[in-house]
Amino acid sequence: MTVELISVGTELLLGNIVNTNAAYLAEQCARLGLSCFYQTVVGDNAGRLAQILHTALSRSDVLILSGGLGPTQDDLTKETAAGVMGMALTRDEHTAKRLQEYFSRRKLELTENNWKQAMVPEGAIVIDNENGTAPGIIMEKEEKRVILLPGPPGELIPMFENAIAPYLAGAVPGVIHSQTVKLCGIGESKAETMVADLIAAQSNPTIAPYAKTGEVHLRITARASAEKEAKKLIKPVVKELKNRFGMNVYTTDEAVTLEQAVVDLLLANHLTVTTAESCTGGLLSARLTGVPGVSEVFKSGQVTYSNKAKHKLLGVKKPSLDKYGAVSENVAREMAKGAALASRADVAVAITGIAGPDGGSSSKPVGLVYIACRVRGKTKVKSYHFTGNRNKVRENSVVAALTLMRHCILEYYSEVTFR
Amino acid sequence: MTVELISVGTELLLGNIVNTNAAYLAEQCARLGLSCFYQTVVGDNAGRLAQILHTALSRSDVLILSGGLGPTQDDLTKETAAGVMGMALTRDEHTAKRLQEYFSRRKLELTENNWKQAMVPEGAIVIDNENGTAPGIIMEKEEKRVILLPGPPGELIPMFENAIAPYLAGAVPGVIHSQTVKLCGIGESKAETMVADLIAAQSNPTIAPYAKTGEVHLRITARASAEKEAKKLIKPVVKELKNRFGMNVYTTDEAVTLEQAVVDLLLANHLTVTTAESCTGGLLSARLTGVPGVSEVFKSGQVTYSNKAKHKLLGVKKPSLDKYGAVSENVAREMAKGAALASRADVAVAITGIAGPDGGSSSKPVGLVYIACRVRGKTKVKSYHFTGNRNKVRENSVVAALTLMRHCILEYYSEVTFR
């Protein structure tokens, strides 16, 4: 079964917003085992939208439209799609009641144009919108399906998850199941080379590598008659990937982020953590504190941007700053030590580097970063040479720090040694 | 002149990456005064791409393709587009030489398939790629133009800026000029209401509002025969917007971010700044330190996540924590005071709030945030009720803190009073 995505909205054509809906829907459809060959963006224009719909219906089985379901005159996705499908619009009393409740609960006035959102194509399946006013719509006619979703991601995503994904899963023969093996501390090309033979030989399940900043995610997708069968197909592949990538695998759970994995490791070993950041300026602590429940392990962190602050707050020795410079292995080590002693945390991570655009030299170029991690008195310092702009250098530093923290904690509690 | 964007890449159809190139190109084309009615995404498939090209050529004057210019067999954008345009591929010696230099400079081996990138459509304009191997291509034939750009944003963006934008500007009669008025401390709907009459009456220049997290940007675009004329048309509109929005205008320079504006204000008044963050966990300091040259004003910051850290590092009184709770006006005020005294910074900002998903109560719900800003001993505390998930609450808190910092500094140095 083939699916085609059509995003409706002049704001997309003007580049006012990035089309994250299309990426989200494309990924979800791929997971459901649907093939998608085309995505189109068109403005809030009935003639052009109708033409796009005719073309799409001639080449795809399922069309998923997003946007243009609002209450104003500009919003004409529903009217146009119903017209192309030859369906008349009729008032849906259930939706009318939902709208009334929605507005009264928020003490908002329901104006005349809002009733437009209670009109639905005759015979269509209506999906309640838990996070807004416009209902979702599914139209079915002669093997073709046209699905209309509201544009705001906060409405589209829950509606897709709760109603559209199960609907589409029911329409696809068999089930699709996928699992993700997430790697850190290994480059994209190296990881891809290490699974090239598996990818070349694959049919079911398939393996697809996704490169993230400092991480590689390998998604394994299987198709079978039942979920249990699909999981059975995936299991040996996960095992094989774990064998090949060993400690570089930080999770096999789609929902777990690298910072979550690090926090989980701290929690499991009853360790507290502190941060001492120079060039990243708080990005690492911000990422750690993005994990709900982090307060059990993270009590405080320091951003020591100036040399004076490194000396005063972390006890970095002035001769070290003078002799080696702030961006050096010695200073990174002293920062971690000082942070651990000041906060009495079990784990202390320190980052010092040159994020650019200025401040680089031939011996210490932009992108040079030292990261130290101290676990209960035992310290490891690594140097990195990142490329890209200030933002990229800082982002890569944070992922490298999380990776190093994970490695150091694992090393401390086992006999594993990382390069 | 109408333009159409065609993004080529299976990774887009699978949702592996978000199509930021399309948003970038759409925005740039809008700035150049080109009308764009369609954007299409298609995979690395010659048949489907050729069909898309025929359709696009039948309805648009300029096609901009991105992606599929790599050296592998999968990359067939150039071959397919040249075929549709009826142009044969020929070896470009200039590009061949550039490739050779590119590889030898990086001490990489130039393999046989790399020579594919030196093949160009006969008679096409070849654009050097300063950041990669694939050259850009412009094909012209009977009023139609087909432009091929490499997919990686780090190659596409500079190539568009340096070569394609001037080329397209030369093809459009007259010039387009735009300027952005950026607002903080005002909601999107309020800002839009305040310019509704201007937007309704506009023709040249036009005003377009862009909503960002906690900010509103108003872009004014004028079309004229020469840049000087266009600027002359824009000037009175900027003046009118400044009159209407007053101190909510933080810049009229497209390149200046809110954090840059705050850092500039600190620099101009010779003020140093420090941060004391609880729920934002370092996001504010990270954003400030994203500004190059911030080291002049920012020396250190604290992330005090636990009550103990607030007491120990910032001197927040234990009775205050017990009586009012960590998320309170009193504690925010004491955090700012403690941070100012400890760091001797002129300006201290403190953020304490409930980011969720847990930790909320009926009297202190998730989204409640207190922000204190102290400028040379004078403190202002504001409370906020943000909606959305943990991430949204934290992001909104950072923008609110930057806005409050700006207001407090301006108030301190003038007689302005902000609500």
Per-residue H/E/C for B293-331? CHHHCEEEEEEECCHHHHHHHHCCCHHHHHHHCCCCHHH
Q: Which residues of B touch A280 (CB under 8 A)?
A: 286, 289
Tell me which residue in A36, A283, A343 faces B286 most closely, judged by beta carbons. A283
Confidence band of A100 (pLDDT split at 50, 70, 90): very high
In A, minimum Cα distance to B272 occurs at A306
* Beta pairing partners, A207: A220
Dist CA A368 CA A385 (whole Å): 5
Tell me which residue in B15, B40, B394 faces A30 most closely, judged by beta carbons. B15
Instruction: State the smallest CA–CA distance between residue A380 and chain B in angstroms.
Output: 24
Strand segments (E) across B128-225: 136-141, 144-149, 175-184, 206-212, 215-224
CA distances from B235 to B30, B175, B182, B210 (A): 20, 16, 15, 20
Confidence band of A176 (pLDDT split at 50, 70, 90): confident
A45 in contact with chain B, both atoms CB, cutoff 8 A: yes
* Residues with Cβ within 8 Å of residue B241, at least 6 apart in sequence: B181, B195, B207, B218, B220, B249
A305 in contact with chain B, both atoms CB, cutoff 8 A: yes
The whole-number pLDDT of residue A62 equals 98
Q: Which residue's entry shows tokens 């989200």?
A: A24
Q: Do B285 and A289 touch (CB under 8 A)?
A: no
Confidence band of A107 (pLDDT split at 50, 70, 90): confident
Per-residue pLDDT at A304 exceeds 60 = yes
Q: Which residues of A touch B18 (CB under 8 A)?
A: 18-20, 23
In A, minimum Cα distance to B19 occurs at A19
A-proximal residues of B, 159-218, CB under 8 Å: 208, 210
Mean pLDDT of all residues in B211-240: 91
| DSSP letter assigned to residue A53 | H
Instruction: State the smallest CA–CA distance between residue A271 and chain B in angstroms.
Output: 15
Dist CA A119 CA B151 (whole Å): 42
Mean pLDDT of all residues in A220-227: 88
Residue A351 and residue A329 in contact, taking contact as beta carbons nearer than 8 Å: no
Q: Do B37 and A26 touch (CB under 8 A)?
A: no
The whole-number pLDDT of residue A419 equals 52
ipTM, 2 dp = 0.81
Tell me which residue in A17, A275, A299 faces B309 most closely, judged by beta carbons. A299
A285 in contact with chain B, both atoms CB, cutoff 8 A: yes
| DSSP letter assigned to residue B161 | I
Q: Do B302 and A301 touch (CB under 8 A)?
A: yes
The whole-number pLDDT of residue B135 equals 97
Tell me which residue in B27, B286, B394 faces A15 most closely, judged by beta carbons. B27
The whole-number pLDDT of residue B254 equals 86
B293 in contact with chain A, both atoms CB, cutoff 8 A: yes
Per-residue pLDDT tens digits for A55-70: 999 999 999 999 999 8
Mean pLDDT of all residues in B362-383: 96
Q: Which residues of B touch A37 (CB under 8 A)?
A: 13, 42-43, 45, 48
Q: Do B306 and A300 touch (CB under 8 A)?
A: yes
Per-residue pLDDT tens digits for B141-193: 999 999 999 998 989 999 999 999 999 988 888 888 889 999 999 987 788 88
Q: Please report the DSSP string for A134-181 in residue order.
A: PPEEEEEETTEEEEEE-SSHHHHHHHIIIIIHHHHHHHSSSEEEEEEE
A-proximal residues of B, 389-418, CB under 8 Å: 390-391, 394
CB pairs under 8 A between A and B: 210
Q: Do A15 and B28 touch (CB under 8 A)?
A: yes
* Beta pairing partners, B31: none
Q: How many CB atoms are located within 10 Å of the residue A347 CB?
A: 26
| DSSP letter assigned to residue B118 | G
* Beta pairing partners, A302: A276, B302
Distance of CA B202 to the CA centre of its chain: 26
In A, minimum Cα distance to B36 occurs at A13
The whole-number pLDDT of residue A344 equals 96
The whole-number pLDDT of residue A261 equals 97
Burial of B100 (0-12, 13-18, 19+ CB in 10 A): middle
Dist CA A13 CA B36 (whole Å): 6
Instruction: State the smallest CA–CA distance between residue B39 and chain A in angstroms.
Output: 5
Mean pLDDT of all residues in B274-285: 98
Tell me which residue in A19, A305, A357 faces B23 most closely, judged by beta carbons. A19
Q: Tell me the pLDDT of chain A averaged across its residues.
A: 93
Q: Which residues of A touch B13 (CB under 8 A)?
A: 26, 36-39
| pTM score | 0.82
Question: By mean pLDDT, which of A399-408, B61-70, B85-94, B188-197 is the weakest?
Answer: B188-197
Dist CA A138 CA A145 (whole Å): 7
Per-residue pLDDT at A43 exceeds 60 = yes
Confidence band of A4 (pLDDT split at 50, 70, 90): very high
Per-residue pLDDT tens digits for B293-329: 999 999 999 999 999 999 999 999 999 999 999 999 9
The whole-number pLDDT of residue A177 equals 85
Mean pLDDT of all residues in A138-143: 96
Per-residue pLDDT at B127 exceeds 80 = yes
Per-residue pLDDT at B81 exceeds 60 = yes
The whole-number pLDDT of residue A416 equals 64
